[in-house]
Every structure is written in structure tokens, then in C-alpha cells.
Structure 1
């Protein structure tokens, strides 16, 4: 009978530890994913900004040397990420592939223009900078028109500001929730041992001596939970990097190591501080109140 009861108690204890580890691991994992989002929010925003294309259309009278000089000056500009010359023949082939019809059969000639597609660095994708680039290009007499989607640029910049604000707010809120959830799990685990705590105190054990094994056990659970969270974060990070290599998420290893280290230490700190206050609460309770 006693053996069966001991096995039952042991299963309950293991189940309790498993619940605490799972809670800690899941909360830290979600918090870590949010941290990855915060670290890479600007990089993702920059990636989309750099997809905005400024198209400089050239007159048919433009000489090859003039086009080459314009391409070279654009490539050397500190605000330009890349340039690409698109001939009128290439443009016609692209339109044919897109529409499935050869419009030149109806028109008899190619009305399209030679052009240079320019992609700017993210920090320069603003309405003011695009307008300045457009005016600078139009000064040249062989440039016919400069085209870009100004409404898209304004919308993108506004959304980036809004998203950045909400990400920071969500990070603060989720950090608070993480602390509260882990604290609740630890308090429940300590609550199941409240009679043991009071018994040790009644036989003369000091508060520090009583707290020590509880804190050490919780810290070990926190370490295990943090390791599980880090494994999950590394898996997600690896998958995203393989799926979207253009985001180059692994290009800043120092920041990633810092984030992983922060999550690991956070798991230890929260479990330590939660266990400290949970045990302290039961140490200060009267024996009669342990039943409520």
C-alpha cells in the first residue's frame, strides 16, 4: 500500500515538474520569437523598401555613351543599391510573356522605351529623395520620363512606423505576461510543498536553508525550459533563413547570441526570483493558514 502511494506521489511530482518545464519553455520560446521579430523588423522592412523600383525612361535619340555614363553615375551614388538597363526589346519580350500576346503584331512597331531600373538603399526610399532623384535625372536631355509609385512609398513608410510602435508595445506586454505565467507555475509547484516548508521551519531550519533546495530545483527546471526554448528558436530561425535567404537573418551573429543568452538568463532569473518570493510567502504564513 505504501509502495503504491509512493509511486503515485512520484508520478505527481514528475508531472508537476514536466508542467513547469513546459510552461517555462513555451513562454520563453514565444518571447524569443518576438525578440527575433524585434531584431529583424528593420531588416525585413528594409528588404521590402529596396524592392521599390525607380524607372528612368530614355529617349530613342539617347546615345550609348550617354546611357553608360548615366548608369555609371547612378551605380556610384551612395543612395543606389543596384541598377539594371532594360532595352526596349527586352521590355517587349517581358510584356509578351506577361500578356501572352505579341502587341507588335497589331502596332507594327515597338513603342516602348529603353530604360534603367534603379533600386535605392532602404534609408533613401522616401518621397523627398525620390523626387530629388527624379529631378536630377530629368535635367539630362536624353531622359524622357522618371516613373515610381510614390503612393506605395508613403504607405510603406507609414506602415513601418506603425508596425515598429506596436512591436515594441507588444514586446513589453508579452514580457510581463511571460513573467506572470512562469511565476504562477513556480508558485503552484512550491504550494504543493508548503507543509514540507513549514515542517522544516518548525524543527529549526533557517529560511535560507529551506529556500536553497527549492530555488536550486526551480533554477534547474528553468535551465531545461530555456534550453528547449532555444532549440525551438534555432529551428525556426534556420527554417526562415532557408526559406527567405534574402533576409540574411544570420548575418548578425552577435545580436543573435545576445538574444539567445538573454532568453537563457531570463529563464534562470524568473524561476529564481519567483521561487524566492513563493517560499518566502509560505515561510511567513501561520500554520493554520496553510490549509486555505
Structure 2
């Protein structure tokens, strides 16, 4: 009879552990996938921002030596990602190719100016910062005019802010769900051992001594769940990279490193905190309250 009961208890315990692992793994999988979306969306947004060009048209009397000095000074600025010098002759050839005819034959003289195409770092591609840079450049003695697509910058900034806002809302929602689900799963597994907890407490075991094995057990279960979740995330990354190679997910080691680290750390923190408070609850209960 006792052997049969012990066997039943062991099966029940294993079933409880499996349910906890599966619950945590599913939640961590969702958190990991959402983390990839957040990180890649930021990178994609920055990529589009850094494709915006600010053209600086130089005055005709600026010598090549001064242009070279100006170019080197621009490269040292914190807002510069890259720059390209375009001479008036190169600009004329480009216009000729676009128009399909030599406009210089009609004009007789090249009206274009030497210029520098400035590509800014993503953090500086906002309407306010680019307007400030425009004013700064127009006060420069070398620069005749500044040109960039202002409507595009405004629309790009607006769309990125809107998308970022909703992604943060969704992330917060999933984070709350993750905490609730993992906490509920762990509490149910500890609930099955509430009488063991009270028995240990009655024979003189301290609260920290009772909590310790439960916390370590939950952390181990959380780690196993994290490995399962990462295996699922790896599968998703593989197939997304296969069908959408432009995202270069498998080559983005920084993003993947953040996701792996985030999933493992999240599993550790949530399981530790949930187990601590779950055991604390049963430790503070009176014996008669354990039956409810």
C-alpha cells in the first residue's frame, strides 16, 4: 500500500515538474521571439535613418585643400557616419545619365556645385537635430546651400515613434503575462508540498533552510525550460533567415547573444522570486489553513 502510494506521489511530482518546465518554456519562447522583434526593429529603423543623405553644396571659390580639410573635420564629428565628396563634374555626369542627354550643350557652362553627401548616425536623424545641423552648416564660410528631404525625415521619425510605442506596450503586456504564468506554475508545484514545508518548520527548520532546496529546484527547472525555449527560438531564427535572408538573423551574433542571455537571466530571476514568495506564503500559514 505504502509502495503504491509512494509511486503515485513520485509520478505526481514528475508530472508537476514537467508542467512547470513546459509552462516556463512556452513563456520564455514568446519573450525571446518578442526580444528578437524588438532588437531587429530598432536595427531596421536605424538602417533606414542612416540612408537619409544631407547634401552640402560648396562655394565655387573653395580650394581643394580647404575641401579636404573640411572633409576631415566632418569625419571627426560625432554625428557623422560617412561622407562622400562629389565634384561638379561628377554631378554633371550623373545628371546626364539620369536625363539621357547632355544638358551642358544647352547651357554651355556647368551650373552645378561641388558637394559633400553627409550620412548621419541614426540618433541624429530627427527633424529637430537636422534643422540645427542645417543652420550650423549655413553659417559655415565654405557652404553655399544645404539640402535634404525634410518631409521624409518627419514621416520616418513619426512612423518609428509610433511603431516603437506599440512594441513597448506589447512587450510590457507579454512581460506581465510571463510573470503571472511562471509564478502560477511554481506556486502550484509548491502547493503540493505545503505539508512537507509545515512539517519541516514544526521540527525546527529555519525558513531560509526550507526555502533553499525549493529555490534551487525551481532554478534548475527554469534553466531546463530556458534551453527548450532557446531550441524553439533557434528553429524560428533558422526558418526566418531561410525565407527572409535580408534580415541576416543568423549572422547577427549581438542580437542573438542578447536574446540568449535575456532568456536565461529572465528564467533565473522570475523562478527565484516566484519560489521565494510562494514558499514564504506557506511558511506563514497556520497549520489549519493548509487544508484550504
- TM-score bin (small chain): 0.5 to 0.7
Matches within 5 A, 1:13-162: 13-32=13-32, 45-56=45-56, 66=63, 69-70=66-67, 72-77=69-74, 78=77, 79-86=79-86, 87-88=90-91, 91-92=94-95, 95=98, 103-104=100-101, 113=112, 116-125=116-125, 126-132=129-135, 135-136=138-139, 140=142, 143=144, 146-161=146-161
Task: Report if the CA contact (8 A) 1:40-1:249 is conserved.
Answer: no
Give the Cα separation in 2 of the matches to 1:140 and 1:157: 30
Gaps of 5+ in 1: 96-101
Query: Any idea what the Cα deviations from partners look like across 1:127-164, whole Å, max 9, x if unmatched?
Result: 32342255247x658x5x54311122233344555555
Secondary structure of the 1:224 match is: helix
Change in Cα spacing, 1:185 to 1:153, as seen in structure 2 (3 Å) is: same
Give the structure 2 partner of residue 284 of structure 1: 286
Give the structure 2 partner of residue 217 of structure 1: 217
TM-score, scaled relative to structure 1: 0.64
Task: Report if the CA contact (8 A) 2:201-2:210 is conserved.
Answer: no
Change in Cα spacing, 1:234 to 1:284, as seen in structure 2 (3 Å) is: farther
- Pairs aligned (count): 274
Give the Cα separation in 1 of the matches to 2:85 and 2:133: 19
Give the Cα separation in 2 of the matches to 1:67 and 1:129: 27
Give the Cα separation in 2 of the matches to 1:75 and 1:248: 31
Secondary structure of the 2:221 match is: helix
Change in Cα spacing, 1:31 to 1:257, as seen in structure 2 (3 Å) is: closer
Instruction: Give the RMSD, CA atoms, in angstroms.
Output: 5.0
Task: Report if the CA contact (8 A) 2:197-2:283 is conserved.
Answer: no
TM-score, scaled relative to structure 2: 0.64
Give the Cα separation in 2 of the matches to 1:148 and 1:213: 63
Query: Any idea what the Cα deviations from partners look like across 1:90-141, whole Å, max 9, x if unmatched?
Result: 524864xxxxxx732999779995754221233433232342255247x658
Give the Cα separation in 1 of the matches to 2:219 and 2:278: 9
Change in Cα spacing, 1:107 to 1:7, as seen in structure 2 (3 Å) is: farther
Offset, 1:83: 1.8
Q: Point out the more displaced range, 86-95 or 122-131.
A: 86-95
Give the Cα separation in 1 of the matches to 2:200 and 2:281: 15
Secondary structure of the 2:254 match is: coil
Task: Report if the CA contact (8 A) 1:81-1:120 is conserved.
Answer: yes
Give the structure 1 partner of residue 188 of structure 2: 188
Give the structure 2 partner of residue 263 of structure 1: 266
Give the Cα separation in 1 of the matches to 2:236 and 2:118: 34
Task: Report if the CA contact (8 A) 1:227-1:264 is conserved.
Answer: no
